[in-house]
Structure 1
Amino acid sequence: MIELARHVGVFVPQRGTKAELVAALARSEQIRTRSLVGWMGRDELRAACQALGVNASSRARHELAERLLQALGDRKSAPPTGLFGAPSAQRLTPVKGDIALVRQRQYLVEDVVPPGAPNEATRVDLVCLDDDAQGVRLSVLWEIELGAKVLQPEAEGLGTVASLDPPRRFAAYFHALTWSSVTATRADLFQAPFRAGIKLLDHQLTPLKKALELPRANLFIADDVGLGKTIEAGLVMQELALRQRVDFVLVVCPAALCLQWRGEMEKRFGQRFEIMGRELVARRRRERGFGVNTWSTHNRFIVSYQTLRRPDYREPLLAHLGPRMKKSLLVLDEAHTAAPASASLYAVDSHLTSMIRDELGPRFENRLFLSATPHNGHSNSFSALMAMLDPQRFTRGVPIQAGSRALSAVMVRRLKRDLQALGKSDFPVRSVVRIALEREGDGFRARYFEAEPGKAERRAAEVALGPVGAPELELSRLLAEYTEVMKPGRGRGRLVFINLQKRLLSSVEAFHRTLSAHAARVGSGAVSADPRASQERTAAEGAQLDLRIDARGSGSPSGALRPEPPIARRPPEEDEDAYGVDDEQRDVEDAAEVASASTALAPPDGRARELLQRMLDLSRQHRHRPDAKVVALLHWLRAELCPGVSVPGGERASGAWNDRRVILFTEYGDTMRYLQKALGAAVEDTDRGDERIAVFHGGMGDEAREELQRAFNGDPAEDPVRILIATDAAREGLNLQNHCADLFHVDVPWNPARMEQRNGRIDRTLQPAREVRCHYFVYPERAEDAVLEKLVGKVERIQRELGSLGEVVMANIERALSRGIDRSTADALDEAERLPELAETTRWELESQRADAATLRRDIDEARRILGRSRKVMDFREELLRDAIDVGLDLAGAGPLVPLDEKIEGQQAFALPPLPASWDRTLDSLRRPRRRDEPEWAWRKLPPQPVVFKALDRMGEDRVHLHLEHPFVQRILARFLAQGFGAQDLSRVTVVPDDRSGEPRVIAFGRLSLFGPGAARLHDELVAVAAPFRESGEGDHLKPTGTDEDRQAVAHLEELLTRVDRLPPVPEPLRRRLAKTAAADFGVLWRHVQDEADGRAHEAAQLLAARGAEEAEDLRQILRAQRAAIEDQLNVQLGLFDHLEGDTMKAQREQLESERQDMRKRLARIEDEIRNEPAELEALYAVSLKRLSPVGLVYLWPTTSF
């Protein structure tokens, strides 16, 4: 009744009782019988007829309406006519609303402009209906457009039926149509999960469910690290694209994540993204001319934050987007980087904040933000970030209240421990392994202590390392004394000693490089620094010292030179912004910074000079020798990966490498190269020893990153790499868990968030191992290590217990460590956790959004129910897709998929049959990735990889998961979808043997499509009408009865098609006889299909109108609530910084003033938005075209009649 009142424009109480609603409608003078009957759906008309004792047996709305009007005594009103009446005569010139075939595509005619003079042509404005070019606009001059014609497939029915299709062929065609159906009438049906090559986890459906409930898909996915936010975002993108709500997508992410995004979207969702950068711009200019705007050449892009900051990329993007691009989606990964930030009282906008908020964000209709750490403790920062996401729910400077309905509507927030508490076993258990390097005589002993989350540490093992020098311990003592003597109370000079301390905790090599730079510039520079220090980073260096470890275990440089293993670097002409700073360049810059800061120090004299010289001599002597950490690593590699790894004092052994892999993380390029040399010497005599170590560093190009990741994740039997030495350039953006469950922090980063990012490379979704182990080293004798040990413990506890509060605490811990490690640092770390105001703000505004266990389980269960319901509606099964592909291959002139002897994770794998050369580009998606410098012609000779139909647990590259959006599958199914239009491979008629019924039945199918503005497909479904078949030849031999048997015929057909190969074949004489009558039989049933479609179209249009009205009203309420919140906030007195002075406080006060000014501007805009935007939103659901196309005819023939 509320919908009826809305339809006729009568105000009724939204929360009134049924009696109150009836009374309000009865008092209205605006309701007329004719309009009321025209508005009623078929079921309502039937119910009204039955209530009046009128025959309600018809399926045609117009017949029921006519009977009802007559019963009500309203004989003057004409009943509504059917939507799909008799076909009109063939026209040469289209009219608005027609379907036209132009340039081999189907278009909706939006407008027809008659010629202004006799010698002019008719202009026809078109919008494309094809799935792969939905909404693309085109204007043509009709009379001179070759091949253009008005399509009326309903007028031709099924055409001439020469022979019947085999049941399997018709089944493939039927399922292709079913799988391509979409609807916007319901938010509780999913398609994207069935059109993605992913191993779907239950919790990943919740963001999709929430996005479909929103009028604009403005959603913040704030799940924990490793829960699959990229997959969740991909599902949302896919669903919005399928519903024609999104045409243009821009993903903005850190540079290190660009390749990850492109690979995931293409492989998992069949969506091809271009990475915006110099290479793409140059390629587009070669292809299309220098003046082309690269942003206009595709509809899906990925761009890094660094690249987006550059005006030469950003300004063409803004020009392409215009004031606001329709059907656009902005995806902001690591979205917290765009939030205002400050270590002070009030967060201040960055340049990135202003750029996203003022320039980029407002130009997109939909926004999707991703971050595991959305809150930095500042209320104004969080509200600013949420206002970028949804400016109609949130406003800069207006605090977000705990339990805010506005926030819960747009945010999904789950922690890993929340899901584990529900019994989810999709995530590995992380064990933190502390390796204590304890002195033992003239050597060391490594003791392993292992701790699982929330459990006490236990001793796991111990290994005698033998005689190993301990220069790092002596250097630590000398550095502490030197710092005490030389360190100034304040100023740039303090940085020198902090950098020296950090580098010594990494390696003697890293320390020596920085110490040499310091010694060369401090005071007069008279200390005898290593004369080679200034030469070691020249481009001409092409060799390394051989660090062979002899049988006695002494590791010393032999002086022999051997080639440096190649390190892949970005092309010299490429942007540094796109690839990050090269680690070697960063080491040079750090050394230069230390050298520059050293000039501010007093010249060392006396004891200071002696200490400096002693450190230089000791570090120079030991810089190339394996330290205790390296020796412990070698023992671990020998025990866990390969018995043939050389260790000091160990016997030469042989043995094969097993399939395990390990990652070694370090903060510095100097330490990375030191490890590469030391470990390379230890493994060089093993099987393929020179291929076992790979390095990942800053400055690597796209191809090198992709190739390294593929090798490390690839099948260990094919890819020999076992050890990955990486700097923090690899701490984000790489999935490395496929065959790796062990990670070593060779040095502990002073930025605790980086440590967690490192761990996230293996501790994440789709980690096949049940346990991952994260190792780190400590020297119990070294004072600094006690602090670092405390730091590691805090990081683990923070991640386990604090949620988003962890980001606030870790930022404070980093600030505490930025002053260096001394006697007060341990207390400073404890103090860093005491952030009552910031912690309370975060807990109040964000953590209150986390659902309790019962709510979380309920959300996941509801999403699972929607998935099950969607699967039933869509009728998607992997075996049906495989059968459709086999049929499609047969139509292409090839054989079916070939089963392989091997099974992959318990499922059958298949090889593709030989296909013509015209399929080469399609088959590229099935080949292994092309390697660097591999000629395209040679790569194309490679056979396609085996295919499977279910997602694999591992993310390897050696098998391809075929899903509905895969390019190969899309090409196969496109042939079925074109039947009756561009393709004529099928007659679209079949006969199916029926072993369960004694009466023949015929089912006629039509495809009902409802289109909205811009030819957006709002609703799609197959309409079926069944009738008993009597071969008497009389006029009623096909008359639907409406019995249960007729209604269940389609479900019965589905069941028969799954086992048609096991049923008796239909005799050929019967097939020929039915082929002769098929066209006529379809014509008899077609008018019933039209009546059925009319009822369903009317119902769908009502549902769409109701959803549009509901979302429009929701938007009005959101805007009114925002207006009230702004007005309240503007009444708050501006006295927060009145008692403070200085430049920092001035900036913070200006920030607050700016936010209040923004509130006033926002308040002024809200009234216009209340008047206009709900109406625009409601218009998206307005049906502009209803279309019914013939699909096919099926005879169900009893086997007893054969």
Structure 2
Amino acid sequence: MTTTATEFMPGNLVRARGREWVVQSDTRLADGASALRLRPLGGSDDDVITLLPELEEFSPVEPATFEKPNPAQAGNHTAALLLRDALRLKLRAGAGPFRSFGNIAVEPRAYQLVPLLMALRLPTVRLLIGDDVGIGKTIEASLIVRELMDRGEIQRVAVLCPPHLVEQWQGELQQRFNLPAVALTAASASRLERQLPHGVGLFDHHPVIVVSLDYIKSERHREHFLSIAPECIVVDEAHTCSASGAGKQLRFELLQRLAANADRHLLLLTATPHSGDEVAFFNLLSLLNPTFAELQHRTSTADPLREQLALHFVQRRRKDIVEWQTATQDGHGFPRRMKAEVTYRLSGAWGSFFDDVQAYCRELAENVERSGDAGGARLIWYATLALLRCVASSPAAAAKALNTRLEGHLGLGEDGDDAEEDAALADLQDGTAEDLSSLDLEPAAQLQAETGAQRLQALIATAERLSGAAGDPKLAALVAHIADLLKEGYAPVVFCRYVATANYVAAELRKHFPKAMVDAVTGELVPEERRERVDRMGEADKETGRVLVATDCLSEGINLQHLFTAVVHYDLAWNPTRHEQREGRVDRYGQRATEVRCTMLYGQDNPVDGFVLKVILRKGDAIQKELGVLVPMPEDRPRINQALVKAALMRRSTTNSSQQAFDFGEPEQLLAPLQTRWQDALDKARSNRTVFAQRAIRPAEVLPEWQKQQEALGSQADVQRFLVSACARLNAPLEAHRGQHRLHPQHLPEPLRLRLADEGLVPEGSNKPLLLDTAELHRSHPLVSVLAEYLIETSLQGESTLAARSAATVTASVDRVTTVVLLRLRHQLAYQRKQLSFQMLAEECVALAIRGRQNPEWLTGPEAARLLESTPAGNLPREAAEREVTKALEALQAETPRLNELANQRAAELLQDHERVRKATERRGGGQHHVQPCLPVDVVGVYVLLPDSV
């Protein structure tokens, strides 16, 4: 007799093709036929198969039952705890309130669940996540995407982001959320299209795609993307798509057209949603709902429209997270950011060289001024700033600038291209350019001036002679500071403005710190090479230290918090946003150090450093301290340029080494209008933060969900305990090595070594140790998964008692005979959303304790689970252990109705969890949930605890 797929529900246990399987779901094929997705009883999602029961003629699919533990194969108590941990860590469709947590390789913090809860309460997800830099917007958005996918509510997603963030997003989605993402850029588009099977669409073949905003700039690409866009869109750095400007306006129109589909989910991410730019802010709000744009002219805090916006908008500063850390007792908060300043003097040959460059620039400026050439005057402005900035950076950068001719007019004449001028000034002033790699090239500073040719050659010769010299006072100050940082155990990133400077500094630091690992990452390298160099720094000996020298190509796009604990601004940025981006690479979610050091290095008697520090950086820092986030400096490049030139040409004092010796009166007056606009932007941002603050979800509401997920799936501490115990019992104990651990795979069983080789963790036949940072390994890491799978399979198949299904132990943790039963519960979860039905499997691992054999007392929850972690005083002889386990199994057989009752109780609790998280109402498009247990329950393990009579 043949069976059909519709006879089985998710969670049912079946036998097919000679083994037991768990039904995952029924799947409709293209021709309308119904198929079964089956996972092996002890296997993983990688082993899932799809079959048509009607075609299984020789071995029909039939219901199966789970075999009870064999008393003759009793193990010890450590093996019992190991099986519990393996089962819990292998749960992928966990029975907690969220479907995705078993499939991710990150342990979210409680506050990061707020956007997820908000998303699940919306019929169509439209969210603006405006959290501060480093809080974890990528984690928050990816959690929502993964949850919607695991619930079956979306199948495809596109992440739109600036080009320099494409690789970061692709890596985060793959490594942390197990979503195989591909990058769609100008360079990869043709290759991806060629690889598509005939007649298959891009998003059908690649359901998760990270799209470069540069790629969809052109009308042809934009229209094509709109025609194939998926049902879920994530937009990172959304503020770059909402402000004025031709390129940004086109992006905003693209998002408007995407948002026009009322069923499309849209997540907007930005650390600066309303930094004083009213137009940009309300443009963003209109993408969530066009009516939200009306709030620009409505000021009542009790406005119903504002209350509706609270369902779609979340924004937290770092100090807002403190209450969450307190409520959740989360010890993994943000570190203290300790700021310091290190100064040096332009002394000796280098000071004389700086003075000569200033004099050279003054001579050229006076000649142009006498000629009355307005275009030439603006050219001199640019050359003066470019040259003096390179000189202040390093001898290497100065030589490069002096040797590079400034050709043409840079759009500075009457017929020039204003856009070209604007781009040149933006690069020079550290503007918010989207391609950070281009910002680290040294600007051209050599002018075509016959009268200054001889002087120019002398300056070039001096710069080349000074390059790498021991007398560089700036480098000497850095070396002393790095020595202090390394001595105190810090791992610093040194940010430089130019490629030549970064390479020069790295070379010099290698000479002074030969035992430390020192490397440089600049825009000369393609993104993949940059990431490889950073990853390689993880091999450094923690005792001798690591130092990374980088340009601003790393200030966005690659996270550095796992390897580095200090930031040194070797070159001051001329834009406070760039400083925050640099420090935010290290001081961000995931940083395990309790303190991060951030140091500014500047010349005491350098007028350029002094003006930037006093008028720009200190203002930005004051705003950040007051508001809690940085408000970007208003753009006014010609005015800033003029003020900087005035300051740059000031003569430095040879007697007074303090910055107070400079009188920046005239340059400051030039920037007075900009300072006023900056203050206005601060006032608007402060007002908007008060009016639009998201307070709808409090810690008390999130905390239960966070704790339930910890209990259901295991915490990071459980992962570490499992790894240590599993490796020890498999004859390959972890070995401490330079703050990490080494695993010697040659000592593992051969089948396990082959599995690790298949995962790419251990080359087949290689005995090279595997270096592990156990604090970073998550439950879905391939090593954890493979170890858990192997232990579960060998245990369920009766091949080994390394992870034991039964044991009898003497312990002081009990005062009478207690049986701990390890159960695996399977539930069928069904619900409706927007008139669509969804069915899923939910599994959980539950411990039940039965105290006494006469009039037994039943215990569940944490109290029962803790008994599995009891410290044994001794193990019984094999015969006695077999006898005790047999008695426990016989007693349990009579308690089947109570086990079924427990399963129904857990199903009811699971139903409450899901309905509480979703808070579904008809008004919001929700639907009723249904949870049904799959009976009988699986008795995975039976462990008898006997009181210690001593």
TMscore range, shorter length: 0.7 to 0.9
SS, match of residue 698 in structure 1: coil
How far the C-alpha of 1:1009 sits from its partner, in A, is 0.7
1:845 is matched with which residue? 688
1:512 is matched with which residue? 402
For the pair 1:916 / 2:715, whether they are aligned, the reply is no
- Kept in 1, the 8 Å contact 2:242–2:280? The answer is yes
For the pair 1:874 / 2:712, whether they are aligned, the reply is yes
Which of 903, 907, 910 lines up with 1:1097 in the alignment?
907
1:732 is matched with which residue? 556
How far the C-alpha of 1:944 sits from its partner, in A, is 1.0
1:150 is matched with which residue? 61
Cα deviation digits, residues 712-752 of structure 1 (max 9, x gap): 455256998746152x3222223346346242343543x44
Cα deviation digits, residues 1020-1069 of structure 1 (max 9, x gap): 44577777887xxxxxx9xxx7xxx5332676653442236433325515
**1:356-755 alignment to 2 at 5 Å?**
356-359=255-258, 362=261, 366-388=265-287, 390-391=288-289, 394=292, 404-416=306-318, 426-433=334-341, 435=343, 437=345, 443=348, 470-485=355-370, 494=378, 497-507=381-391, 508-509=398-399, 511-513=401-403, 516-517=406-407, 610=451, 612-613=452-453, 616-617=456-457, 619-626=459-466, 631-641=472-482, 663-668=493-498, 672-673=499-500, 676=503, 680=507, 694-698=519-523, 700-712=525-537, 714-716=539-541, 722=547, 724-726=549-551, 728-736=552-560, 738-739=563-564, 741-746=566-571, 748-749=573-574, 751-755=575-579
2:921 is matched with which residue? 1112
For the pair 1:124 / 2:34, whether they are aligned, the reply is yes
- Kept in 2, the 8 Å contact 1:911–1:945? The answer is no
Cα deviation digits, residues 66-112 of structure 1 (max 9, x gap): xxxxxxxxxxxxxxxxxxxxxxxx97445444456678864456589
Counterpart CA distance in 2 for 1:487 and 1:926 is: 69
Counterpart CA distance in 2 for 1:416 and 1:662 is: 22
- Kept in 1, the 8 Å contact 2:128–2:267? The answer is yes
Q: CA RMSD in A?
A: 5.5
SS, match of residue 788 in structure 2: helix
**1:78-157 alignment to 2 at 5 Å?**
92-98=3-9, 99=12, 106-107=22-23, 110=26, 123-126=33-36, 141-145=52-56, 149-154=60-65
How far the C-alpha of 1:382 sits from its partner, in A, is 1.7
Read off the aligned partner of 1:673 and give its amino acid letter: A
1:355 is matched with which residue? 254
Higher relative contact order (CA 8 A, sep 6+): 2
Structure whose alpha-carbon radius of gyration is higher: 1
Cα deviation digits, residues 560-593 of structure 1 (max 9, x gap): xxxxxxxxxxxxxxxxx99876579x668x78xx
How far the C-alpha of 1:786 sits from its partner, in A, is 3.0
- Kept in 2, the 8 Å contact 1:134–1:244? The answer is no
Structure 2 unaligned segments of length 5 or more: list them: 392-397, 414-432, 647-665, 832-836
Counterpart CA distance in 1 for 2:708 and 2:88 is: 15
| TM-score (ref. length: structure 2) | 0.74
- Kept in 2, the 8 Å contact 1:1006–1:1023? The answer is yes
Counterpart CA distance in 2 for 1:657 and 1:218 is: 49
1:1012 is matched with which residue? 830
How far the C-alpha of 1:898 sits from its partner, in A, is 0.8
Instruction: Report the count of equivalent residues.
Output: 874
Counterpart CA distance in 1 for 2:864 and 2:370 is: 90
SS, match of residue 821 in structure 1: helix
How far the C-alpha of 1:501 sits from its partner, in A, is 2.6
Cα deviation digits, residues 908-935 of structure 1 (max 9, x gap): 876654353764564687869xxxxxxx
1:1191 is matched with which residue? 939
- Kept in 2, the 8 Å contact 1:206–1:863? The answer is yes
Q: Specify whether residues 1114 and 828 from structure 1 end up closer, same or farther in structure 2 by C-alpha distance, changes over 3 A only.
A: farther
2:733 is matched with which residue? 898
Cα deviation digits, residues 878-899 of structure 1 (max 9, x gap): 6654565577669xxx824414
Counterpart CA distance in 1 for 2:938 and 2:947 is: 28
Q: Specify whether residues 298 and 363 from structure 1 end up closer, same or farther in structure 2 by C-alpha distance, changes over 3 A only.
A: farther
Read off the aligned partner of 1:916 and give its amino acid letter: E
**What is the aligned-residue identity percentage?**
19
Q: Specify whether residues 434 and 1060 from structure 1 end up closer, same or farther in structure 2 by C-alpha distance, changes over 3 A only.
A: closer
Q: Specify whether residues 308 and 979 from structure 1 end up closer, same or farther in structure 2 by C-alpha distance, changes over 3 A only.
A: farther
**1:1046-1065 alignment to 2 at 5 Å?**
1046-1048=857-859, 1053-1059=864-870, 1061-1065=872-876
Counterpart CA distance in 1 for 2:493 and 2:27 is: 62
For the pair 1:944 / 2:753, whether they are aligned, the reply is no
1:954 is matched with which residue? none
How far the C-alpha of 1:291 sits from its partner, in A, is 6.7
Q: Specify whether residues 755 and 899 from structure 1 end up closer, same or farther in structure 2 by C-alpha distance, changes over 3 A only.
A: closer
**1:6-405 alignment to 2 at 5 Å?**
92-98=3-9, 99=12, 106-107=22-23, 110=26, 123-126=33-36, 141-145=52-56, 149-154=60-65, 158=68, 163-164=73-74, 166-178=76-88, 192=101, 196=105, 204=112, 207=115, 218-233=126-141, 248-264=156-172, 273-277=181-185, 293=201, 295-309=203-217, 324=231, 328=232, 330-341=233-244, 350-359=249-258, 362=261, 366-388=265-287, 390-391=288-289, 394=292, 404-405=306-307
**1:945-1024 alignment to 2 at 5 Å?**
945-948=771-774, 951=775, 961-974=776-789, 990-993=806-809, 996-998=814-816, 1003=821, 1005=823, 1007-1012=825-830, 1016-1017=839-840, 1019-1021=842-844
- Kept in 2, the 8 Å contact 1:94–1:150? The answer is no
SS, match of residue 1062 in structure 1: strand
- Kept in 1, the 8 Å contact 2:130–2:315? The answer is yes
SS, match of residue 942 in structure 2: strand
Read off the aligned partner of 2:386 and give its amino acid letter: K
Counterpart CA distance in 2 for 1:1106 and 1:764 is: 31
Structure 1 unaligned segments of length 5 or more: list them: 1-89, 114-120, 445-464, 524-576, 599-603, 644-655, 929-935, 952-960, 1031-1036, 1116-1173
**1:1066-1077 alignment to 2 at 5 Å?**
1067-1068=878-879, 1071=882, 1075=886
- Kept in 1, the 8 Å contact 2:129–2:137? The answer is yes
How far the C-alpha of 1:255 sits from its partner, in A, is 2.8
- Kept in 2, the 8 Å contact 1:778–1:789? The answer is no
| TM-score (ref. length: structure 1) | 0.60
Which of 604, 611, 620 lines up with 1:786 in the alignment?
611
- Kept in 1, the 8 Å contact 2:180–2:208? The answer is yes
Counterpart CA distance in 1 for 2:373 and 2:592 is: 49
Read off the aligned partner of 2:876 and give its amino acid letter: P
Q: Specify whether residues 335 and 182 from structure 1 end up closer, same or farther in structure 2 by C-alpha distance, changes over 3 A only.
A: same
Cα deviation digits, residues 178-200 of structure 1 (max 9, x gap): 4566999986x8984996456x7
Read off the aligned partner of 1:260 and give its amino acid letter: Q
SS, match of residue 1111 in structure 1: coil
Read off the aligned partner of 1:381 and give its amino acid letter: A
Cα deviation digits, residues 730-779 of structure 1 (max 9, x gap): 22223346346242343543x44224323434454527473524324347
Q: Specify whether residues 1066 and 290 from structure 1 end up closer, same or farther in structure 2 by C-alpha distance, changes over 3 A only.
A: same
Cα deviation digits, residues 438-480 of structure 1 (max 9, x gap): 56xxx37xxxxxxxxxxxxxxxxxxxx7876632221342244
SS, match of residue 409 in structure 1: coil
SS, match of residue 700 in structure 1: coil
- Kept in 2, the 8 Å contact 1:992–1:1056? The answer is no
Q: Specify whether residues 673 and 143 from structure 1 end up closer, same or farther in structure 2 by C-alpha distance, changes over 3 A only.
A: same
2:898 is matched with which residue? 1088
Counterpart CA distance in 2 for 1:1028 and 1:676 is: 69
